[in-house]
Structure 1
Amino acid sequence: MSEEPLPSVPHADEAQVSRLRELLSLAEPLIVADVARAEQLLREAQALAFRLGDARSEALALIFLSATSYFRSEYQTALDTLAQAQAAADLVQDDLLTARIENSRGNCAVALGHYGEAMEHYQTSLALAQARGDVEDRARVLNNVGLVHIDLGDYPLALEVFQEVMKLAQQSKSPHAYSSALINTVLCYYHVGSPGEALALASGYLPSIQKLQVRQHEVVLRTWMLPCLIDTGEVAEAARQAEELLPLAQEVDDRQYLVYARMFAGQALLQLGQLGPAQEQLELALEEARRYDIRPLQRSVLHLSRLYAAREEWQQAYEHSQLYQALDRELHTEAVERKAKMLGAQIQVQILRREAEHERWRSNELAQANTALQATQEALAYRATHDALTGLANRAHFQHEVERELQTLDQGLFGLLFIDLDRFKQVNDTLGHDVGDELLKEVGRRLTHVVRSSDLVARMGGDEFTVVLRQLRSAQDAEGVARKILNELIRPVEVGGHTLHVTGSIGVAVAPQDGRDVTTLQKNADIAMYRVKHEGKNGVQTFRRP
């Protein structure tokens, strides 16, 4: 909180004014350390400010109260509280209060998936902070803008924003803003495939956060250290640190990061072969993600499919795999829509950050935004049916084609192959995502080369591919094509100076005998593939009814 003195209140008891100042000063740092205690203090502060007729302090208490709801994933409650805060701020016409309210509204909009609306709130907040010369508020808003870029996968741009935030935080001597930006930098490094660099930065800064006693920041930083430890091969250490972190995450009551911590704990335990404890953590994470409607985390936690596969519980594995795929399609569609809506907003944020050239570049960059938006609209039709990396058909197009084949099926047969590359994660972990991406492109080319031009090759996501084989003469033909694909895959691949040897696990289903709808057919191909995975990989299995 800024060190501005509270306004004098006519006829107010000095002891009450002093108590109000004390409550607000105590509560703000507790929001990220002890949210329950912060809420208790802020409700007392709000009531006292109302009795004193101090609208500015009442608005500030309400802004802080909205943050306690936000950290509990109660976003609509937070927005309702912010509306009350704005009503109080309007009474004193304080632009800095409005700037903070707009920033908080932007955070809630992001959490609810309304990215275009969020950017409008952030732009308003940033403009008000710049007009008043408030460096700390500028840092706060830009930090949130950087988080939006992370959500959209624009990690280089996010890193650029966080570097600027750290400069502003040092200028304003705001350790909390600096802490937030550094944590988000760690997150960026992890997502661009540099877990070692992320882990080194996080480990070096952790003692400083602990010294600040900002427990919510500590939970976030330590949570993102877990996948970095897993990806750098320190799986046992990740499991140990997760066990140590979970009680703190529960105490802080940041529900989103409690789900993250449970998810990463489950992943580490799964890799260590501790299936019972892994299942317990993953099921708790999924339950809490559903309870608080955190859909991106629901998708991430659905690693339960691999756990059930490890136990050879094929039906449960398939059901969770289907839940993952359905949610992944839904979130992918939303992400494409968000990016289209965000393009103009991103450019406007860049304009706001270039203060010295603000007016001179405005019209030019808005024109560029319009041109870019037109190009985006033209590209969306292609992107809606094709995988961005390989150029193959994507999941949505694949399912549409299977449905179309089933509708026109008449006495003939068609086959569905589900292909999962073996040990692909090791390529990403040891050689980097760039090499992994080139390998996926080459696999796509080889699959297309093996099958006929009338067949369809699709990438479902990650290292999973599917093939639709049209107009088969017999069910055995599908398995024959699958074995040709295996032979094509095992040929060495030269990527970036590395010679790679790839194998695949292939499940085969044939319509109509293995299913007359896309869900059943895909399920049976998945189940056949899972059996290959757990019988030694690098093979073909045709679905057989139990």
Structure 2
Amino acid sequence: MNNPSAARASITIEQLITEAEATLRADPSQVETVIRQLAELDPQAFPAGRAASLIFGGNARVMAGEYAAARPLLEEGLALSTRLEELGLAVRACNGLGAVHVMTGEFGQALDLHMQGLSLARSLNREAQSRSGLLSRTLMSIGSLYYALHDHEQALAYHSEALQEAERGQGRTFMPRLNMATNQASLGHLENALKLRRELLAEARQSGSTVEEAFVLSDLADNLLQLGQFTEAREVALSALSLTKALGLQLEHGQMLRVLGLLEAAGGRPELARPLLEQALALGERMPSTPLQLAAHRDLSGVLESAGDLAGALRHARAHHALERRDLLLIAERRTQMAGTQLKVELLRRQAEEQDRQNAALEAVNQQLRETQERLLYAATHDDLTGLVVRAALEEAIADDLLLAPDRLRALLMIDIDHFKQVNDSFGHHVGDAFLQEIARRLRAAACPTDDVARRGGDEFTVYLRNVDSPAEAMHRAELLLRAIARPMTLEGHSLLVTTSIGMAVYPHDGTDVVTLEKHADIALYRAKEKRNQVCRFESVTGDTDSD
């Protein structure tokens, strides 16, 4: 986070938070510095600075497994951010508090908080959702809650929705994909999970996010262990063990102690496996983490049995059984706790779906209206036959152009096709129409991209040269148009010779408004038609033409 203590008028607290999160992904050791910087923000410029500091501090403690310390920080941060109507901060506080309640077994309250966060995240505009990724994060949190309750189907549904949301908002998809890999592994699709985790590890290292690297390494080591790829599993687990310890990720550190213990047991070294598994168990009890304790008791029972310590094996087997029984009862109780909340969840989901349908219908109506307006505007400003703009639209464009840059030279050309009536009379109106379309195409091709080409009606056209250096240049460009039109033309087997006349008025010499320029260009056209196949510029009453 770059100089957050200085009040920058162009930056919001949400942008500062996004910067801070990016900083911590790259270097988690900066967490206390970031928390302090947020706390020191000027309260006049950033009233939500204290709320941000509290929420960051609380979520940092959740990450470290210090749930009791995290709760009061997040509760105060949620109250303060809600009062200040800082929705992004409130969502982060809800997610953090929800995680605390999950770890302390209060699943009903956890789901309430996550649904509160989901409602707040949905109320953010699409740009804010995409930039912060908060909607995706909240969906992930709900999925993880169901995963903790062994409801893998619901977990997968929420994690899939989180991934879709991240992809739709073009945000970061790393954590949703990491959760999807966990879902795949839990469903027995270990090879698919392994492939995805390898991809994620490469991404984490490329982005420089050590926290994300630690998460993937710990999952990858367990994945390799389950697939029997022991050599690589050991290398990955040792890397993860060191990194999780440095980052203070207690749960992941305990998981790596357990993986290394199982690898020693698989290698026939129970004497080395036992202390590693006992360390994992102690860490699980200290946090506390029931999943880690369950796994460590089960693994210790197996290791001690293979080493001939049947009493020790029985002791851990009984501890595992008692803990598992208690855990199953708690899961049943927690699912009961969540029943009422789940009814609210379903209602909220239906309301959200109905709102989405209404929004989609409204957007469809708005899109249809925009398309109709565009079609009507085009029809009102363009000629049906040639696709060129009509006289009124060109006059409006010229008036706007003269107003915006009154000092620039321009030229208005009036063009009349000689003997066009004879084409219609001799070959029919369908050939006449094709003739006019070809004239329009030639004019567009010969004019500069900045010039305007219009059909005045019948066989008359107008070209507005928006930028010329001199009247002489305008005359030269008009002659180029004359030659472009005059090329022989073959239509439906008929060879046609084309002659035309062009009258020109130069701004500001021959007029300073649309009406005067058109009038004087028309007078010049009348003279050109008398001479045929020529360009004539308007002459004043004295008979002279203005020139540079």
Q: Taking structure 1 as the reference length, what is the TM-score of the superposition?
A: 0.59
Contact 2:301-2:312 within 8 A present in 1 as well = yes
Q: Whose RCO is larger (CA < 8 A, sep 6+)?
A: 1
Residue deviations 1:108-136, cap 9 Å, x none?
11121211111101111111221223532
Aligned CA distance change for structure 1 residues 312 and 78 (closer, same or farther; 3 Å): same
Residue deviations 1:12-61, cap 9 Å, x none?
965899999998565323444544421232123213445x5733122122
Which residue pairs with 2:167 in the alignment? 170
Which residue pairs with 1:40 in the alignment? 33
Q: How many residues align?
A: 351
Aligned CA distance change for structure 1 residues 212 and 183 (closer, same or farther; 3 Å): same
Which residue pairs with 2:151 in the alignment? 154
* Separation (CA, whole Å) in 2 of partners of 1:161 and 1:25: 24
* Counterpart pick for 2:190 among 191, 195, 198: 195
* Separation (CA, whole Å) in 2 of partners of 1:77 and 1:337: 26
Segments of structure 1 that go 5 or more residues without pairing to the other structure are 7-11, 362-546
The CA RMSD over aligned residues, in Å, is 3.1
* Separation (CA, whole Å) in 2 of partners of 1:295 and 1:321: 15
Which residue pairs with 2:337 in the alignment? 341
The 5-angstrom pairing of residues 342-381 of structure 1 reads 342-354=338-350, 357-358=353-354
Contact 1:105-1:121 within 8 A present in 2 as well = yes
Which residue pairs with 2:233 in the alignment? 238
Which residue pairs with 1:59 in the alignment? 51
Contact 2:234-2:260 within 8 A present in 1 as well = yes
* Counterpart pick for 1:271 among 251, 259, 266: 266
SS at match of 1:55: coil
Which residue pairs with 2:60 in the alignment? 68
* Separation (CA, whole Å) in 2 of partners of 1:350 and 1:112: 25
SS at match of 1:230: helix
Residue deviations 1:469-494, cap 9 Å, x none?
xxxxxxxxxxxxxxxxxxxxxxxxxx
Residue deviations 1:402-434, cap 9 Å, x none?
xxxxxxxxxxxxxxxxxxxxxxxxxxxxxxxxx
Residue deviations 1:379-418, cap 9 Å, x none?
xxxxxxxxxxxxxxxxxxxxxxxxxxxxxxxxxxxxxxxx
Contact 1:20-1:49 within 8 A present in 2 as well = no
Aligned CA distance change for structure 1 residues 151 and 22 (closer, same or farther; 3 Å): closer
Contact 1:60-1:85 within 8 A present in 2 as well = yes
The percent of aligned pairs where both chains have the same amino acid is: 23
Segments of structure 2 that go 5 or more residues without pairing to the other structure are 358-548
* Separation (CA, whole Å) in 1 of partners of 2:78 and 2:154: 32
Which residue pairs with 2:367 in the alignment? none
Residue deviations 1:158-207, cap 9 Å, x none?
222222211211233321xx111111111111111121221111112221
Aligned CA distance change for structure 1 residues 53 and 188 (closer, same or farther; 3 Å): same
* Counterpart pick for 1:139 among 136, 139, 146: 136
Letter paired with 1:78 = A
Q: Please state how far the C-alpha of 1:260 moved relative to its aligned partner.
A: 1.2
Which residue pairs with 2:293 in the alignment? 298
Contact 1:20-1:45 within 8 A present in 2 as well = no
Please say which structure displays the higher CA radius of gyration. 2
Which residue pairs with 1:288 in the alignment? 283
* Separation (CA, whole Å) in 1 of partners of 2:156 and 2:178: 11
Letter paired with 2:32 = E
* Separation (CA, whole Å) in 2 of partners of 1:235 and 1:126: 41
1:257 matched to 2:287: no
* Separation (CA, whole Å) in 1 of partners of 2:319 and 2:25: 34
Letter paired with 1:263 = R
SS at match of 2:40: helix
Contact 1:351-1:358 within 8 A present in 2 as well = no
The 5-angstrom pairing of residues 379-458 of structure 1 reads none
Letter paired with 2:183 = C
Aligned CA distance change for structure 1 residues 116 and 14 (closer, same or farther; 3 Å): closer
Contact 2:251-2:289 within 8 A present in 1 as well = yes
* Separation (CA, whole Å) in 1 of partners of 2:135 and 2:195: 28
Contact 1:55-1:89 within 8 A present in 2 as well = no
Which residue pairs with 2:407 in the alignment? none
Contact 2:258-2:277 within 8 A present in 1 as well = yes
* Separation (CA, whole Å) in 1 of partners of 2:108 and 2:204: 32
Letter paired with 2:66 = E
Which residue pairs with 1:314 in the alignment? 310
Residue deviations 1:238-261, cap 9 Å, x none?
123212221111112111111111
Q: Taking structure 2 as the reference length, what is the TM-score of the superposition?
A: 0.59
Aligned CA distance change for structure 1 residues 144 and 21 (closer, same or farther; 3 Å): closer
Q: Please state how far the C-alpha of 1:92 moved relative to its aligned partner.
A: 2.1
Contact 1:116-1:338 within 8 A present in 2 as well = yes
* Separation (CA, whole Å) in 2 of partners of 1:14 and 1:153: 47
Aligned CA distance change for structure 1 residues 117 and 90 (closer, same or farther; 3 Å): closer
Letter paired with 1:46 = A
Which residue pairs with 1:421 in the alignment? none
SS at match of 1:293: coil
Which residue pairs with 1:129 in the alignment? 121
